[in-house]
Structure 1
């Protein structure tokens, strides 16, 4: 049984802030909410119900970033100590749209857009642009050298690497433009980014539960879904008790150390440039790969201020830290396996195993390993 952290909430509730959550995610979300309740020494009171939870002080586990001041006020969420995830004023903020700048000062933009944020993260992101109109997207393609360089078109709300399109020339771009929903484009935007080869994706993040903060650095794993498409297959993460500074003391290789610095820069910019934003779960994906001229590039791809693919590993690490105050570093990893392509290890804790109506047969598990201080991690 994990040690109890500090919380004055009446109970922990799961808040469905997305219209639809796949079955496998829903199962894991419930498991995470129950485990957070155990960590906080509070009961788990199920899925939020506006009538049953009309009064009281609840700790929320939202399925997505909580949006708009009206929702936050209605739920009674005051700050990051009231939820596992994050809060943002505008729908575009918790997406990869904010990672890149617009094509110019007259580009279309939503209310609340921060040019200052783009300036703060310049150099910590890859070459790319965000557009909120078809015209601006064409200009972005010209600015980024489409035709001379391959570019990647990224829907800003897609997760797990899904929905992206590799563009080789203007004809390929026009074919994609013909299918865009211009209303959604104006609200959320779309990203055009330089395509890299031989990519390694790092994850840097932090969780802040009442009474416990932990930070981590690790790598993501790709796998193939039932259609043979490459998708997110899990994360192997090295956790350190404390803030981002705790990662500085780890024996990291140069690429991981740079990934941590880029993530910190992005994280600080969000706090500084988007008033009202707060998050207790902060995860940043950083890609390192080879650019079109053979140069090595590394930069933040996007942020996740919500429960995510690595969250089950985050909670597993938190449980160890809570149970053993002397423990300061630990490995935790998640795996996602499709179509019975490989068996789960015998010491793995299964978090989902079954046939999801959307993804087919899938197995998910989490593992925790003792920290090995003898090696640097490159």
Structure 2
């Protein structure tokens, strides 16, 4: 199982973490955040060779300027995207996009896809004629000797609809030329950690269906629940910095001039299997040093923040690099274990995290928001129980 950085805003942090801390096995580059010329010019070839490029056709008429630096992006190649007319340029766009990925010698080829927020009846038809068929034709024509992954952007509603999910599985698994799926799911959850049992269970069942058809699965835009997904020994999971790289949505591809207040800084505490507001972490560190020692796992990055004596800002890199390093370590810990042993280890970690949360509560610490609490842990524990039952 590989661990890719899900790049986004400030991709340089991912690259620095990969180079300097040896976190992860590569990077999934995001063109909406990284212009074409910059990607080709400043990223070392040895990094590209172990990395992937996500063409990000999710919103084909996106006005984001960096996407327009890629000559194959639908809005760019058509000088104004139109669904009805795209078929006329689909093969040209596929060739240009494939040429870009081959020229940069990325580890594998990713076929793009469009995101649909609803359960539309022609989902498969549109993906097939606009993206999959043109790309596979280009791959065959160029005689490409790389793994080929099909992007599959989904909603939780799609996962929960058995007929729709079955149709997707039947379609995707019918291509002998496709080696795997780059799976992205918009869970549309109000919480930062995935807490909906039915959605999580359907997600894992869909992954298992793909793997039973001998398809490799890259689970994109993972948050901490990726360590539960890793029980299935998928081809790859991801780690990201900002929240929009740890949960899939199309917001980043839309023009929005409305100012948003920046999020409160948080620190990842692996023993709690969660991110906690920095202010609460600082409160525990100062007032309850014995408890802090139990819940805190230091890195040079988090120690640097503490040593500065300043409250960190969400736009600074150190706490994200701290997260990359510790989550990558957690993935390394379960690599090489059997599925049964992975489940056992993670159940033990969930029990330990629950006990630590109880101790925090016993010490009358009040969290600023519910996302800092361990409310996801019972759901994850139940998910693991179901996975064990299926062994």
Is the TM-score greater than 0.5? no
| TM-score where L is the length of structure 2 | 0.28
Which has more strand, going by share of residues? 1
Higher relative contact order (CA 8 A, sep 6+): 1
Higher helix share: 2
